Amino acid sequence: MVALRQLMAKYGPADDDDAAMRAQLGLFGEVQSLQKEAELRWRASFASHAQAEKVVARLTQKDARDEGFSIWQPGAWACFPFFNGRPYGGRGWTTLETGVGTELLARSVFFPRLKAALDALPPKFIEIDGEEPTPVNFEPTAEGAGPRIERVKAAIEGAFFTGKGDKPVVVGMFSDFVVHIGNAMAYSGEVQEQTYEGERNAAGEYEGHGTMRWATGNVYEGQWRGGMQEGRGTYRYDDGSVYEGEYKQGEKEGRGTYRFANGNVYEGEYKQDEREGRGTYRYADGDVEVSCYKADERVGEGAMWSPDRQRAWRLWEGIPVEEIPSSAAHAIAEKLGKPCPDP
């Protein structure tokens, strides 16, 4: 294929000098054809794709510029094979394309009428790596909107861009798209719906084991009774936080562990969706404390340790009031029934 052995060059000899450009490219490879496609942009075809790649490698070396090769006259910035051999997932602009496409489909799950209209259109993703093009079915996951968006941004940051300065532009474009698509769906007039997959009772209520996905990106997977969370379950928030524990009539109640997106972790007792009872709070930096809670606030006496557990403090209402021996902190913890965890 001609495209496999072509080379694109931005900027070339002045005055549209075809002969001069052909002569200069000929220093590095056998030029079979040459044409100017747009203002200050040339396309050259070499004997093979491998030779075109070698030409690009040669022209992008610093000494090629130092030799005064006129493709590098002031303002020149690119020389590359017309065919991109880099894997699709490693390219910056295609990473944006995938992120935009999957974001739309992920959100459409919660807008049935919009999703029905999209499903009636041709497939949004086509796999072309096999013997023939194959439609790709998008399946929503429990990832959540927040982690999904951050994952795409990280993928763009790690992808390859040919143009200088493209990366921050593309990250900004994706961020703008997320805002615009969210607003467009919110203003569409269609009520956002959650989706449930799982067991039901004879009355059709959620009961047994099931998974609920909300339009916000939050996901609950666990036990249900009478249409509400009851028993043990895992709730994943769109910001990356995760709660694993017990529920009663749709609220956190009993024992549970909450892992915050910032790395902090609370493990203890809950009542009516709030921390209530004894609990251990581990900070991302390694500090740890044990306290009693009421209505989600620390109450009474507690204890706190440094990351290596060599220093300790007595807490009152969650505030350190004095440094104490580690043995005294352990005594407070034992009284609360929450021994200090290992470093």
Q: What is the pLDDT of residues 225-257, one digit of tens each?
A: 999 999 999 999 988 899 999 999 999 999 999
pLDDT given for residue 1 in this prediction: 27
Judgement on whether residues 287 and 339 belong to the same structural domain of the protein: yes
Judgement on whether residues 73 and 95 belong to the same structural domain of the protein: no
Whole-number Cα distances in Å, 102 to 108, 136, 149, 319, 331: 10, 11, 10, 45, 53
Terminal CA-to-CA distance of the chain, rounded, Å?
Answer: 62
Question: Contact, 311 vs 300, CB < 8 A?
Answer: no
Whole-number Cα distances in Å, 279 to 180, 232, 282, 296, 340: 41, 18, 10, 11, 11
Judgement on whether residues 266 and 334 belong to the same structural domain of the protein: yes
Half-sphere exposure of 173 (CA within 13 A, CB side): 16
Q: Which of 50, 65, 81 is the last residue of a domain?
A: 81
Judgement on whether residues 237 and 276 belong to the same structural domain of the protein: no
Question: Contact, 116 vs 193, CB < 8 A?
Answer: no
Q: Which of 22, 51, 81 is the last residue of a domain?
A: 81
Instruction: Tell me how far the alpha carbon of residue 277 is from its chain's centroid.
Output: 35
Domain that holds residue 142: 88-186
Give the torsion sign (CA, 160, 161, 162, 167).
negative
pLDDT given for residue 8 in this prediction: 54
The single residue listed with the structure tokens 């900027």 is 11
Judgement on whether residues 322 and 233 belong to the same structural domain of the protein: no
Q: The tokens of 64 are what? A: 């090629």
Low-confidence ranges of the chain (pLDDT < 70): 1-17, 38-40, 60-78, 84, 129-130, 140-144, 192-193
Judgement on whether residues 107 and 130 belong to the same structural domain of the protein: yes
Question: Contact, 5 vs 47, CB < 8 A?
Answer: yes
Judgement on whether residues 202 and 243 belong to the same structural domain of the protein: yes
Q: The tokens of 252 are what? A: 């956190």
The number of folded domains in the chain is 4
Judgement on whether residues 121 and 172 belong to the same structural domain of the protein: yes
Q: Which of 81, 101, 120 is the last residue of a domain?
A: 81
CATH of residue 46: 3.30.70.330
pLDDT given for residue 60 in this prediction: 66
Judgement on whether residues 182 and 92 belong to the same structural domain of the protein: yes
Judgement on whether residues 247 and 266 belong to the same structural domain of the protein: no
Cα distance between residue 147 and residue 153, in whole Å? 10
Cα distance between residue 57 and residue 110, in whole Å? 49
Question: Contact, 17 vs 36, CB < 8 A?
Answer: no
Judgement on whether residues 168 and 154 belong to the same structural domain of the protein: yes
Judgement on whether residues 34 and 62 belong to the same structural domain of the protein: yes
